[in-house]
Every structure is written in structure tokens, then in C-alpha cells.
Amino acid sequence: TDKHTANNPFQAAMEGLVTNPNVKVLFCQNTAASKGVVLANMLDGVGFVTAGVSAITDLQSSGYKYIQP
């Protein structure tokens, strides 16, 4: 389902990630609010966290690794 404009350079990559059973895509609600992102337009399969920075810290303390693109 194309919920975004045709000029979104990340559309195909994100669609691949959200359908990968080994990947969990999380989006910061604070960033969404500050950038005016309409949450209803997000791809199915994208999860949300209240604050991305604290979510990264919580996940790292659980053994996850942060990989910067």
C-alpha cells in the first residue's frame, strides 16, 4: 500500500524492512510530532516509541546494538 508520495526515496527500503520477520521498525513519536508526520500515513508494521533516545538506551541495556546508518 503506497501511503506516501511517489518521491519518497526510502519507500521501498522501508517496505522491505517492515515485512522482514527479523527486523522491528520503531518510530519516535516526539520526532513525528515535531516534523508534522501524520501517523495514519505510516506503513503497516511500523511500531512507535514515545522517545527514541530513551528507547535506544532501554534496548541497549537489554543487549541490542545500535547501528548508525
Predicted pLDDT of residue 51: 96
Predicted pLDDT of residue 4: 58
* 8 Å CB contact between 18 and 45: yes
Q: Is 6 helix (H, G, I), strand (E, B) or coil?
A: coil
Instruction: Supply the pTM of this predicted model.
Output: 0.74
The sign of the CA dihedral 16, 69, 44, 47 is: positive
CA 11 to mean position of chain CA atoms: 12
Q: Kindly list the averaged pLDDT for each block of 10 residues, start to end, along the chain of length 69.
A: 66 92 92 88 91 94 87
